[in-house]
Structure 1
Amino acid sequence: MSPPDLLTLPLGGTVPNSALPARLYRAAFAYASPDQIEAALAGRGWTGAWRNGIYPFHHYHSTAHEVLVVVRGAAWVTLGGEGGLQVSVRAGDTLLLPAGTGHRNDRSSPDLLVVGAYAGGRAWDTCRPETTDPADARARIAGVPIWAQEPVD
């Protein structure tokens, strides 16, 4: 498999983002079922899996690193907060979002299904720029340990 695209986002502002780049792995889980994806992620220390879409508003997690695997469909996701970097993802693509990385589903196909999970099974929160104090969030983000393994081989 090809190495991931490293996506560096600006720090500060109402969305903290991370000094660690977000990672986009293209076709990492092509043709895999949700059960297969969840098992593969769990085997690499990414647990607490869920199945759904991606919220259509800017948000981030200050207590956990998140991985998003597109099972089916496609989406256009803005990373980094308002005016951030827009990426397109489709079935098989995987986004690794370090704690603090803003993300929003701008547009998606009606059949979008995503499997999400968290590094080390950490409890996660949902922070919104308009309701979360960025200084408090940055303090929580600083306490999140780096993941033990990448979510994909």
Structure 2
Amino acid sequence: MDLIPEAIQFGPSGAMPNNPWLPMLVYRGALPADTVDMAAAFEALFGRNGWPAQWRNGIYSYHHYHADVHEVLGIARGATEVLLGGPEGLSVTVAAGDVIVLPAGTGHRNMTPEADLLTVGAYPPGAVCDVRRDPLPPDALARMRSVSFPMRDPVTGAAGALPRLWAR
């Protein structure tokens, strides 16, 4: 797959620490709009690339982040505006077929909750998702830096953008 993501880096914003080393990635049209069962297609795509799907749902309508895990969100149905990077972050409109890859610590919030929005969420193997709204403790940067590094991009695999853009 020859998709090039938008790579966006954030500094701290409100209680959202954001990740100072790894950019957030946005893939437009990762799956074709005419995909019959987009949720199942995202689950299969993420799974093939080492990010087993964990849930189907929406995106929380409050600012939050995951301190100890990287997350991928596949928009399987509908469209929404997501505020990425915390209160002073960037508003991004995503629609069915788009993917957001969030490094640990990156704030996100659904700004226009829609009843028909369906998102597939996935994490690297063995990851345990934590939902945080409060600032990280003093060891925050060390905790975020110690999160296991995924070897494959959840959309484009081993030769994709993530291993290159997330090189430490």
TM-score using structure 2 length: 0.83
Rounded to whole Å, the distance in 2 between the matches of 1:134 and 1:88 is 31
Aligned equivalent of 1:8: 9
Report % sequence identity. 45
SS of match in other structure, 1:46: coil
- Tell me which stretches of 4 or more aligned residues in structure 1 moved more than 6 Å: none
Q: Which residue of 2 aligns with 1:77?
A: 82
**What RMSD over aligned residues (CA atoms) do the two structures have, in Å?**
1.7
Deviation at 1:126, TM superposition (A): 0.6
Aligned to 1:97: 102
Q: 1:134 Cα shift? A: 4.2
Secondary structure of the 1:14 match is coil
Deviation at 1:4, TM superposition (A): 0.2
Q: Report how many residues are paired.
A: 151
- After superposition, the Cα gap between the structure-2 partners of 1:33 and 1:2, relative to the gap in structure 1 and judged at 3 Å, is closer
- 1:142 is aligned, of 142, 145, 165, to 145
Gaps of 5+ in 2: 157-168
Q: Match for residue 27 of structure 2? A: 25
1:151 corresponds to which residue? 154
Contact 1:64 1:99 in 2 (8 A): yes
Which digits, 9 at most, give the CA deviation of each residue in 1:114-139, with x for residues without a partner? 0000023411111103xx43424433
Determine if contact 2:43/2:53 at 8 Å carries over to the other structure.
Answer: no
Question: Aligned pair in 2 of structure 1 residues 73, 12: CA closer, same or farther (>3 Å)?
Answer: closer
**Alpha-carbon distance in 2 for matches of 1:134, 1:86:** 27
Return the alpha-carbon distance in structure 1 between the equivalents of residues 13 and 79 of structure 2.
Answer: 29
2:124 is the counterpart of 1:119: yes
Question: Which stretches in structure 1 are left out of the alignment for 5+ residues?
Answer: none
Paired residues of 2:13 and 2:87 also in contact (CA < 8 A): no
CA shift, 1:143, in A, is 1.2
CA contact (8 A) 2:77 2:116 kept: yes
Amino acid at match of 2:27: Y
1:109 aligns with 2:109: no
1:70-124 deviations in Å (ceiling 9; x for gaps)? 0010010011111211101000000000000000001133210000000234111
Which amino acid letter does the alignment assign opposite residue 97 of structure 1?
Answer: L
Contact 2:16 2:85 survives alignment (8 Å): yes
Partner SS for 2:52:
strand
